[in-house]
Amino acid sequence: MISRIWHGWTTPANAGAYEALLKSEIFVGIQEREIAGYRGIHLLRRNLGDEIEFVTVMWFDSLDAVRAFAGEDYEVAVVPPKARKLLSRFDERSQHYDVRA
């Protein structure tokens, strides 16, 4: 199992809209792609005062499944244009970990 972790930050004013976009469009769109080996996504949110941090943790069976989601350069962040408009900054590359337990 592979875990794909990514971070993005918004202003407090954009945090609600960004979270709603993730839940109503982006996560649904990922699910609708029916990627073989995709096992789901978790969303974490943390208030840092002057900005809000979001973390997505995606689960895949293999790096081949990650590539099916993100492309051959699978570490590149997948951030749709609507999301980019709401984010102050974000990881340009995602981190990938072997899940051990």
Q: pLDDT tens for residues 6-15?
A: 999 999 999 9
Q: Are 37 and 89 in contact (CB under 8 A)?
A: no
The total of structural domains in the chain comes to 1
Average pLDDT score over the chain: 98
pTM tops 0.75: yes
Q: What is the mean pLDDT of residues 66-79?
A: 97
Report pLDDT digits (tens) over 15-53: 999 999 999 999 999 999 999 999 999 999 999 999 999
Q: Give residue 39's domain range.
A: 2-98
Q: Are 96 and 35 in contact (CB under 8 A)?
A: no
Structure tokens at 99: 């899940």
- The enclosing domain of 34 has a CATH number of 3.30.70.100
